[in-house]
Structure 1
Amino acid sequence: MPSLQEKATAFHNLHKKGAPLVLYNIWDPGTAKVAASAGAPAIATGSWSVAEAFGFPDGEKLPRDLAMGNINRICNSVEIPVSLDLEAGYGATPEQVAQSVTLAGQNGAVGINFEDQIIDGEGLYSIEDQTARVAAARKASDALDVPIFINARTDIFLKATPSDDKSKLLEEVIKRGKAYADAGADGFFVPALTDADLISELCEKCVLPVNIMMMAGCPSINELGNLGVARISHGPGPYRAAMAMIEKDCSALYGN
């Protein structure tokens, strides 16, 4: 079994601009083992999928202790690197974020997703506030002696409306990406960004490896690689597909 340090280094090295790491987001040890057995180079959870699997809505409604117990079991079930969707860090303050990152590392995760939306609130944290939170995550990781890959996520496009000027939104995204990089982030995740031209511009201007999520209207995996993307996530798609298959089978069995 590789050490956590070896897994962390391997996970960092998998992020290559133009040759993206493709993550099929899983939610428990069983799905992690299936992905690993199929040849996945790394494992990543999706918060929505994990929460739904345990009977909770998304948005940090899954208790943190349960999330940490789940990631611990996942990490112990596979030998490849595992990244945890930490949502917004289970706390508003930098100190609370640091505690959550420490727990993630202690339970075997060598990567985290860390978003800037305000849980149970409105909008996003200011750049200044989120930068302080990212810096706290970096400091907590450094204290573990395991270089956790901090995938800083911005929800600007996820919260956009059809009438929003997408070019203006991208300007804000790029500004946040630079600030998060300066604070110690290792990657930059922009879910709901699907326009090829904007993705290309972001990859050109962002110093961090860019992470895009597969969803309706998104370019293909090969196209995303050509645009300069370094990481591709599947988000809640795998969970929804699995549940749809079970629903179809049960409906055939029970007539509903």
Structure 2
Amino acid sequence: MHLDRAAGDPLVLPGPWDAASARTFEAAGFPALAIPSAAVAASLGHEDGATPADEMFAAVARVVRAVSVPVTADLEGGYGLSPAELVERVRETGAVGVNLEDSDATNGLKDPEAHAEWLAEVRAAAGPGLFLNARVDAYLREGVADPAGEALVRARLYAVAGADCVYPIKAPPADLPGLRAALGDLPVNALALPDGPSFAELGRLGATRVTFGPGLLFRSLRGLADLAAEVRAQAQ
């Protein structure tokens, strides 16, 4: 998945949660998709971060089978699998890339150097054929005194470890230019928000890749709630 993009033209990757949503996004003309773990969790009735690994890999495989475009998948923190087993299971799904997080809800941010070593092992097991997006959670977790500085330290470590892209999730748009400038040619993933900058503006600020997390699922559910209310009203 190449990210050699012109400024202001980031790669926009909708986040499907099942085969039907994936086919809808493909039909709209998107060239690739990025499965968000939180959306899959919600669609399967789990809390975010609580989806069993087997269910997550099965969901990813269903999406990949349903479309002809490349698919990457958020696999949280790797589900406790060894790098070799994680890579093998990703290959079995047919996904071309992974998003791997450097924190969890229970323990907060992981030690950056230890996480970088783990990412390097994932890269070694995968070779160059798997797109590795390293999520940086410095802005996501509470208690970080300097999120921008912490994000930069982590991003540089993950780049050395072999990450193809870094994802400082929930980084304020104003911080993106500084992060991108400090990281040189390393691609940066930004989170799209309904009230946030346009895709083009995110690109001009430094994003080369734009994803949505579970946002598109939640917007779809609001539409479904309206439809359910309409049908209920007709049934009364």
If the length of structure 1 is used for normalisation, what is the TM-score? 0.85
The residue that corresponds to 1:153 in the other structure is: 135
**Percent of aligned positions that are identical:** 33
Q: Could you tell me how far apart the structure 1 residues matched to 2:232 and 2:130 are? A: 47
Which runs of no fewer than 5 residues in structure 2 stay unpaired? none
1:190 is displaced (CA, Å) by 1.0
CA deviation string 1:133-179 (max 9, x = no partner):
1112112212xxx6111000011101246xx65xx321111111110
Structure 1 counterpart of 2:42, from 52, 66, 69: 52
Taking a change above 3 Å as real, the CA distance of residues 122 and 98 of structure 1, as seen in their structure-2 partners, is same
The residue that corresponds to 2:180 in the other structure is: 203
Q: Could you tell me how far apart the structure 2 residues matched to 1:116 and 1:216 are? A: 25
The residue that corresponds to 1:66 in the other structure is: 55
SS of the residue corresponding to residue 129 of structure 2 reads coil
The residue that corresponds to 1:38 in the other structure is: 28
> Quick check: 2:78–2:100 contact (8 Å CA) kept in 1?
yes
Which runs of no fewer than 5 residues in structure 1 stay unpaired? 1-10
The residue that corresponds to 2:71 in the other structure is: 82
> Quick check: 2:98–2:132 contact (8 Å CA) kept in 1?
yes
Matched, 1:122 2:107: yes
The residue that corresponds to 1:174 in the other structure is: 152
Q: Could you tell me how far apart the structure 2 residues matched to 1:171 and 1:216 are? A: 26
Q: Could you tell me how far apart the structure 1 residues matched to 2:104 and 2:44 are? A: 23
1:48 is displaced (CA, Å) by 0.7
1:217 is displaced (CA, Å) by 5.5
1:38 is displaced (CA, Å) by 0.9
CA RMSD of aligned residues (A): 1.9
SS of the residue corresponding to residue 68 of structure 1 reads helix
User: Which amino acid in structure 2 is aligned with residue 100 of structure 1?
Assistant: L
Q: Could you tell me how far apart the structure 1 residues matched to 2:189 and 2:16 are? A: 17
CA deviation string 1:170-193 (max 9, x = no partner):
111111111001111110001111
1:21 is displaced (CA, Å) by 0.5
1:17 is displaced (CA, Å) by 5.7
1:65 is displaced (CA, Å) by 1.1
Match runs of 1:231-242 below 5 Å: 231-242=209-220
1:219 is displaced (CA, Å) by 2.1
1:79 is displaced (CA, Å) by 1.2
Q: Could you tell me how far apart the structure 1 residues matched to 2:157 and 2:12 are? A: 25
The number of aligned residues is: 232
CA deviation string 1:172-220 (max 9, x = no partner):
1111111001111110001111232x11101111142000101265322
1:127 is displaced (CA, Å) by 1.1
The residue that corresponds to 2:163 in the other structure is: 185
Taking a change above 3 Å as real, the CA distance of residues 228 and 17 of structure 1, as seen in their structure-2 partners, is farther
User: Which amino acid in structure 2 is aligned with residue 134 of structure 1?
Assistant: L
The residue that corresponds to 2:98 in the other structure is: 112
> Quick check: 2:96–2:129 contact (8 Å CA) kept in 1?
yes
User: Which sits farther off after the overlay, 133-142 or 212-221?
Assistant: 212-221
Q: Could you tell me how far apart the structure 2 residues matched to 1:199 and 1:177 are? A: 13
